[in-house]
Amino acid sequence: MDFTLPDEHEMIQGVVRDFCEAEIEPIAQEIEEEHRFPEEVFEELADLDLMGVPVAEEYGGAGGDYLMYAVVAEELGRVSGSIGLSYVAHTSLGLMPIINFGTEEQIEKWGRPLAEGEGMGAWALTEPSSGSDASDMDTMAEKDGDEYVIDGTKQFITNASVANSVLVKAVTDPGAGYDGISTFIVDPENDDGFEVTNVWDKMGLNASPTCEIQLDNVRIPEERLLGEEGDGWDQTKKTLDGGRISIAALSTGLGQGAFDAAREYATEREQFDRPISKFDAIRDMIVSMDRKVERARLLTHKAATMYDDGEDVTRLSSLAKLDASEICREVAEDAVQVHGGYGYTTDFPPQRFYRDAKLMEIGEGTSEIQHLVLGRELGL
């Protein structure tokens, strides 16, 4: 256990770790090969009151903080990147904006079910023609009486095919630039014109659905506008602060899982009549992996703690996301190398961690965008 954690956080960490080892680890490779979203796992996470960890109890959450949520995300990532990804997308992107920016009525109707684990949340920002420039948005929402009519396409949307609500970013004032973007709560099941048009086959993370969605003349009552018209981009920036901490935590978990697999294999695998961990090259590689993972964890915990204290975490969340995502890819690659030929087979987990890790350097802002954000924060 992490000795730096408060007692309550350490207790939750133990509960989640036990659950992951008993219920998720045995099926982690299977669900990837089947490209199957494991609904039963999320139902069990709901039973453990873990689907709304950073949400107040009065809104159906666990009443924890962002550090506790980061601990849970790390433990999930340690055994399954897919489950971890769907979990953090649900929490930081699909749920927390409703809690942070919604009215009491919106929180009760749309936030509470997500916090209690009765449904999954999703967040739709990226479009086919946009990527790092997420503000370059073609999806439009036009006011028509007491409704908005939304038209557009969203791309690479985690959980969209299993979500009970999707937070859609759309332009309400085409001439206002960033100030013309708004956020709407869309009901995938009951809003006519909402369609999941593709669930992508990916390099990794295939038990977490990544979707393209089409919004064709989707009519949304005005009470499902989140905040005010034009608040969408400010909401996005604040949400991404928490989202980057989520990816940093998930990355740390992936790195820890890869390190654990490599260390276990190196102490058991013998060549030339001794464990391969006794060879300097292997030992030094594993020591370096441990150092990197610990660094990622410390940065992530610092960012989460500052977030909980209400401080500006743009720099720290970006730094944690950048460092942890690159570290988890490096550690996962080294874990494959430690396993040798076995590391390239699906009989051992490093190949899965390696494939999953790459997305961490892309999602929630690429590494290149993190350098841009950090340069701005440093006044460069």
Query: Which positions are annotated as active-site residues?
Result: 364
- Whole-number Å distance between alpha carbons of 184 and 260: 42
Q: Which amino acid is at 201?
A: D
Q: What is the CA radius of gyration of the chain?
A: 21
Nearest to 303 by CA among 377, 358, 362: 377
Distance of CA 377 to the CA centre of its chain: 23
- Whole-number Å distance between alpha carbons of 71 and 281: 32
- Whole-number Å distance between alpha carbons of 184 and 173: 14
Looking only at the bridges linking them, the beta strands covering 121-124 and 165-171 are parallel
Element holding 247 (H helix, E strand): helix 232-268
Percent helix / strand / coil, the chain, rounded to 5: 60, 15, 25
Nearest to 187 by CA among 158, 151, 224: 224
